[in-house]
Structure 1
Amino acid sequence: MTTEMTRPTTDTVRYTVIDSTLGPILLTSDGAHLTGLYLDDFDTVLERLEAKVGVAPVLDDDLTLFATADKQLGEYFSGTRTDFDLPLAPTGTEFQRTVWQALTTIPYGTTAGYGELAAWIDRPTAARAVGAANGRNPISIIVPCHRVIGANGALTGYAWGEEKKRTLLDLEASHCVRFSGTWRCFFNFSWQY
């Protein structure tokens, strides 16, 4: 599934904190779209958002979008969801938004290199710029920047640390098997005898 992205509709930032397998997650929204998913350093994130828009973010635990995101993230962490169906509005340059859109096409349980991603967006010599855009992805997990690895297969460049990146990749890999060069992922699978 390709997730459509738009621009935030207001400067008012709403936020909530949910629990997950990785620990607490800070979600932000413009009221209609998810604008951020952060795994650490919440006070700094909220301070930066306030400095950016000029208004303090507003705690909103009742926003339906946050409940939907919490449900879908719970399904992802339990291994029953491979992609997300949420309205997204990440703030970034046109190039960054192009990279983030391309990230949503990397299939669950697989990885891609920075050079591959650059080629996908018709910028084959822009692997470093793709890496920089990947590192600025404000909606981690849902826009799966954790699926991008170094050309040598190394886990590089995850804003929330290599351990969390490895945890996410291991979670996805635990539901996938490689058959004849193609990855197949299984969910809620049980043998019938």
Structure 2
Amino acid sequence: MPFHALIPSPLGPILLASDEDGLTGLYFTDQRDLPRVPGVEAAAAVVSDPSAGFQGGRAIRTFRATRRQPTGESGELFADGPASAAAFSRRRDEESGAAAPMRLLQEDTPASALAVLEQARRELDEYWRGERTVFEVPLAPRGTAFQRKIWQALLEVPCGETLSYGELAERAGLGAGHGRAAGTAVGSNPISIIIPCHRILARDGTLNGYGGGLGRKVRLLEIEGFTIR
């Protein structure tokens, strides 16, 4: 049985789900595949089309991500160093409220599940501040054997790297011709950000789509050191 908590983030409220073994879900609360959980209000506008959105008169899905240079001698998450991390942290505080607590949705949440939820909240907060590039919270996503194979390959795409769907399929031990099937599994990823499906692009390098909305994919790639044009 999954237990749930709501946390704030600079990209909007997040629903966390955990069992006693690990994190089973991480969803923005306006995702169309958000689980129905008592205590979570339906969003006024849902991300119904993961490839929709315009910016500057252009479809966001046609934008390309390029790695900023330099990336920093010590491998900082933010290309411009601590100043950029601090600026993003200030935006996070302004947008979501740094002091807003995690809100448990089940009063009987066991200590083991609570520990997972707290670890996920803490590591995400470190990620937003530019202090973490690798997550350590235990994961327990539920899916088919094929989906889990693709999600495992996603976990092996490091911060600062992107792959195409075909390249991801190859990383998973499949042929590049399985890119479309890999893309379907990517779209079913239940643990956004931590299982980094935002690092997967179309074969031509364009953003293509993102279950949480392309605006969020842009922001996630930007804080990982990419320029989006």
Q: Report the TM-score when normalising by structure 2.
A: 0.63
Give the whole-Å Cα distance in 2 for the aligned partners of 1:39 and 1:61: 24
Give the whole-Å Cα distance in 1 for the aligned partners of 2:162 and 2:36: 33
From 20, 32, 35, the equivalent of 1:31 is 20
Q: Hey, what does 1:17 align to over in structure 2?
A: 6
Give the whole-Å Cα distance in 2 for the aligned partners of 1:152 and 1:143: 22
Closer, same or farther in 2 for the Cα pair 1:118/1:77, shift >3 Å? Answer: same
Closer, same or farther in 2 for the Cα pair 1:88/1:156, shift >3 Å? Answer: same
Shift of 1:19: 1.1
From 94, 119, 122, the equivalent of 2:145 is 94
Shift of 1:123: 1.4
Q: In terms of mean alpha carbon deviation, does 148-157 or 61-70 score higher?
A: 61-70
Give the whole-Å Cα distance in 1 for the aligned partners of 2:181 and 2:37: 23
Closer, same or farther in 2 for the Cα pair 1:110/1:42, shift >3 Å? Answer: closer
1:140 maps onto 2:192 in alignment: yes
Q: Hey, what does 2:81 align to over in structure 1?
A: none
Identical-residue share of aligned pairs (%): 45
SS of residue matched to 2:4: strand
User: Within 5 A, what are the aligned runs for 1:70-85?
Assistant: 70-85=121-136
Give the whole-Å Cα distance in 1 for the aligned partners of 2:2 and 2:140: 12
Q: Hey, what does 1:154 align to over in structure 2?
A: 206
SS of residue matched to 1:37: strand
Q: Hey, what does 1:118 align to over in structure 2?
A: 169
1:64 maps onto 2:115 in alignment: yes
User: Does the CA-based 8 Å contact 2:2-2:19 persist in structure 1?
Assistant: yes
Shift of 1:64: 1.6
Give the whole-Å Cα distance in 2 for the aligned partners of 1:43 and 1:167: 19
Aligned length: 157
Closer, same or farther in 2 for the Cα pair 1:155/1:61, shift >3 Å? Answer: farther
Structure 1: gaps (5+ residues)? 1-11, 50-56, 177-193
Give the whole-Å Cα distance in 2 for the aligned partners of 1:73 and 1:47: 23
Q: Hey, what does 1:105 align to over in structure 2?
A: 156
Shift of 1:27: 0.2
Deviations 1:128-186 (A, max 9, x none): 00000000000000000000000111111210111000100001016x9xxxxxxxxxx
Amino acid at match of 1:68: Q
Shift of 1:21: 1.4
- Quote the RMSD (CA, aligned, Å): 2.4
Q: Report the TM-score when normalising by structure 1.
A: 0.75
Shift of 1:16: 0.1
Amino acid at match of 2:9: S
User: Does the CA-based 8 Å contact 1:26-1:42 persist in structure 2?
Assistant: no
Q: Hey, what does 1:164 align to over in structure 2?
A: 216
